[in-house]
Amino acid sequence: MLASILSNFGPTLAIILGFGFIIFVHELGHFLVAKAVGIKCTQFAIGFGQSLLTFRKGLGWRVGTTEQDYDSKIRKHALEQMGKADADDQDTIEIKDEQLEASRVALGLGETEYRLNWMPLGGYVKMLGQEDMDPAAMSSDPRSFNRKPVWARACVISAGVVMNLIFGLIFFVIAFLAGVEFPPAIVGATDPTGVAAITYPVEHPDDASFKGLQPGDRILSIDDKPVTDMMQVAIKVALANPETSLNMAIQRDGVDQPLHYVMTPKISEQSQQLLSIGIEPPMSLEVLDPGKKGTLPKLLAQAGVQPGMSVVAVNDKPVTRFDQFQNGITNAMGQPVTVTFANADNTKTVNVTTQAQPRLTYNQDDAMPHLMGLVPATRILYVQKDSVASELGLQSGDIITNLGNTLYPSIDQVPKLVNPESTSNSKDVALSMTVLRDGKNIAMDSIQPRNGKLGIAMDMAMDQGVISTVLPDSPMAALNLTAGSVIKSLNETPINNFTELQIALQNYCSKILDDESAALKEVYIGYELNVKDRPTFSRKVTLDENTIQLLANANWSLPSDLISGSSLAFGQLKVRVQADTPMQAIGLGITKTHQFMVQTYITLARLFQGSVKAKHLRGPVGILDEGRRIAKRGWSYLMFFLGLISVNLVVINFLPIPIVDGGLMVFLIIEKIKGSPVSAKVQTAAMVVGLALIATVFAVTLFYDVSRIGFIQDLIDKLF
């Protein structure tokens, strides 16, 4: 528990301090320019709340504030100059501002108190004649904010965002000098239902060999604007103008000239209901380090594959891309293949024998027909350490035979049983649980989810023939198989698992497509029914044309015990972007600063258009969580994230919204045009509207932030 808290504490503290620094430099900009144009600044503070330590010229360092001592000294001196030092009513004697200022100068006291407050996050500057929460605040002092000309006040107001812009650039420059990794703008995979998979290039509108983007395609530009990484691609697509096509220039191996695909992004569930074209970034062939508490996938660990080794061949055929590795296994359609791993200098190689497994849907509500409608039982792939599951004694390989009185729950049913959305107190409900281990049913103690989770990773038990359920209206639905029944044979040929079943069905249906005989459109399924005495049967199942086509072209995927341990064995392919010289880093920094500023404005526009939803935004809590995860990758990524936040604040702070700098600038423009300030009443009303708007945005983003972040609840659970 303590290790988990500490592992999150460092990155969280770094982000909090970094965010505070961004606010500090913003206020520093206001302060420096205010001083430069002659505005009296009474306080400049780091942090908020009561002061811990202060400094004032002439008084030095103090614990607490210097204000009382400062006011006492200059008032006493002013009374002496007025000849009233011995008056009995000193506290009620009125002293003019000019007299107090003369006494301050005579005593050599600084007009500004520099404060370190008890909550060192951000800061503020207090200027005479300017109160954010009181637009009516005025001062007759010629050095007050309200007595300065419009140009001077405009310089002071804009100085904050200028400082954020400068430091945003500095953060980017530092990040690029150290180096930051990005996924390259290369297609790793496509969603078969996405527009990227079905669009033809304008150069070959009828050539099926050019249909859709292909793994390995490099995206050169979008609408004639160059892109260098997949993050740029994803943002440009997500923020595209709704119902507007994008022109993507693609470089493909073996094709001399770039191809141009014109696509209209669509809202996608896979992209969290943002606009998408259905592409994924490329994966790396290198095996990731699972960390001290993690484990490699079962097959890799047993074969002696070590983190840092990479896939170099499949069945002795060299591979250089992840899609080549994936296709080498899946194109074998369940037959054994040999995957060769090697270390960086090729001094050590390890061979792993594996086979593809059927690619099945996880969601019964949007089910793709497969295996004639059979849904395999759910297997525990990995048990997280220090979780509810580990405390209960669950093990990798266990098949869930009962959970909360649901027999053999499917993989999409388990999360709903553990944390049903309709039950407000579901996290407090204990569940009965039984698992199948080494051929024996083992009843576990009552299991109580923690934060709606058990702490397990799951997959479908493809190495078994045990079913969870049968999809309705599928060919197998007519057999009325009960949960826990076992498939034993196909056309009297023994079947030991679902991989063998898909191989047999695929071969059989391929023959049917070459033979129009009606008799061939029937199969006999042997099965053991999960009822008393477990009787066995063999029943005829009729296949329609659509099912035959689907089974003959059934999809395969990489086996979970090859790619999934405590986490995925392979990560995204990353390319390091690092400047060779400071000038190159400045150039990269300017480019990223411009990109993110434009993207922030576009995001706001799309928010009003509806293609970006409120739930896609991040508030302070969401920013903290995102920053915490990014900061774990290293200090250069922390610098990049702080640069991103700085640039975003430049845009947000200068929007024409009352209470922020942009709103104040609007008032100054109106004052310059009409020749007199906007009335205090109007400014006050605008301030209330601005506060209400900001409070609403904060509340909405806080709601979505907390709902999507498990870290906060996990931390609370561990602490209390």
Look at residue 444 in the predicted model and tell me its pLDDT: 86
Segment 454-473 shows an average pLDDT of 89
Residue 711 pLDDT > 90: no
Segment 269-296 shows an average pLDDT of 80
Whether residue 80 lies inside any domain: the answer is yes
CA dihedral sign, ordered 231, 232, 235, 237? negative
How far is it, in rounded angstroms, from Cα 647 to Cα 650? 5
Query: Which tokens in the block code for residue 468?
Result: 């969870």
Place of tokens 């915490």: 628
DSSP string, 527-558: EE-SSTT--EEEEEEE--HHHHHHHHT--EE-
Q: How many CB atoms lie within 10 A of CB 605?
A: 13
Whether residue 183 lies inside any domain: the answer is no
Segment 519-529 shows an average pLDDT of 85
Whether residue 599 lies inside any domain: the answer is yes
The reply to whether 10 and 89 lie within a common domain is: yes
At 200, which amino acid appears?
Y
Q: Which of 559, 592, 627 is the last residue of a domain?
A: 559
How far is it, in rounded angstroms, from Cα 659 to Cα 537? 76
DSSP 8-state assignment for residue 133: T
Q: How many CB atoms lie within 10 A of CB 377?
A: 27
Number of domains in the chain: 5
Whether residue 290 lies inside any domain: the answer is yes
Helices within 218-333 (DSSP H only): 230-238, 298-303, 322-330
The reply to whether 598 and 672 lie within a common domain is: yes
DSSP 8-state assignment for residue 675: S
The reply to whether 107 and 166 lie within a common domain is: no
The reply to whether 519 and 394 lie within a common domain is: yes
Residue 715 pLDDT > 70: no
SS3 track for 43-65 = EEEEEEEEEEEEEECCCEEEECC
Which candidate, 379, 396, 397, places its Cα nearest to that of 387?
396
The reply to whether 595 and 643 lie within a common domain is: yes
Decide which of 573 and 429 is more confident: 573
172-186, 369-383, 655-669, range with greatest mean pLDDT: 172-186
The reply to whether 591 and 679 lie within a common domain is: yes
What confidence tier does 422 reach under pLDDT thresholds 50, 70, 90? Answer: very low
Residue 410 pLDDT > 80: yes
The reply to whether 233 and 201 lie within a common domain is: yes
Give the start-end residues of each E strand in 85-242: 113-127, 180-182, 189-190, 218-222, 225-226
Place of tokens 């477990």: 534
What confidence tier does 705 reach under pLDDT thresholds 50, 70, 90? Answer: low
What confidence tier does 553 reach under pLDDT thresholds 50, 70, 90? Answer: confident
Q: How many CB atoms lie within 10 A of CB 48?
A: 16
362-372 b/e (C-beta count within 10 Å ≥ 16 → b):
eeeeebebbbb
- By DSSP bridging, strand 374-376 and strand 399-403 are unpaired
The reply to whether 252 and 300 lie within a common domain is: no
Place of tokens 């690619």: 359
Look at residue 547 in the predicted model and tell me its pLDDT: 86
Residue 717 pLDDT > 70: no
Lowest mean pLDDT across 122-136, 278-292, 336-350:
122-136
Q: What percent of the chain has pLDDT over 70?
A: 89
Residue 424 pLDDT > 70: no
Segment 28-32 shows an average pLDDT of 94
The reply to whether 71 and 135 lie within a common domain is: yes
The reply to whether 43 and 114 lie within a common domain is: yes
Segment 132-158 shows an average pLDDT of 84
Decide which of 119 and 517 is more confident: 119
DSSP string, 170-190: HHHHHHHHH-EEE-BSB--EE
At 662, which amino acid appears?
G
SS3 state of residue 196: helix
What confidence tier does 293 reach under pLDDT thresholds 50, 70, 90? Answer: low
**Count of helices and strands (H, E) across the chain:** 19, 33
Decide which of 643 and 633 is more confident: 643
Residue 258 pLDDT > 80: yes
Q: Which of 282, 310, 341 is the last residue of a domain?
A: 282
CATH of the domain at 222: 2.30.42.10
Segment 643-648 shows an average pLDDT of 88
DSSP string, 6-26: HHHHHHHHHHHHHHHHHHHHH
What confidence tier does 566 reach under pLDDT thresholds 50, 70, 90? Answer: low
Task: List 538's β-bridge partners, or say none.
Answer: 526
Whether residue 184 lies inside any domain: the answer is no
The reply to whether 390 and 439 lie within a common domain is: yes
What confidence tier does 361 reach under pLDDT thresholds 50, 70, 90? Answer: low
Look at residue 243 in the predicted model and tell me its pLDDT: 82
Residue 539 pLDDT > 80: yes
Look at residue 12 in the predicted model and tell me its pLDDT: 81
How far is it, in rounded angstroms, from Cα 656 to Cα 662? 5
SS3 state of residue 311: strand
Look at residue 364 in the predicted model and tell me its pLDDT: 46
Residue 719 pLDDT > 80: no
Structural domain boundaries, residue 86: 2-146
Segment 678-706 shows an average pLDDT of 79
Q: Which of 245, 265, 282 is the last residue of a domain?
A: 282
The reply to whether 333 and 352 lie within a common domain is: yes
At 242, which amino acid appears?
P
Query: Which tokens in the block code for residue 227?
Result: 């892109």
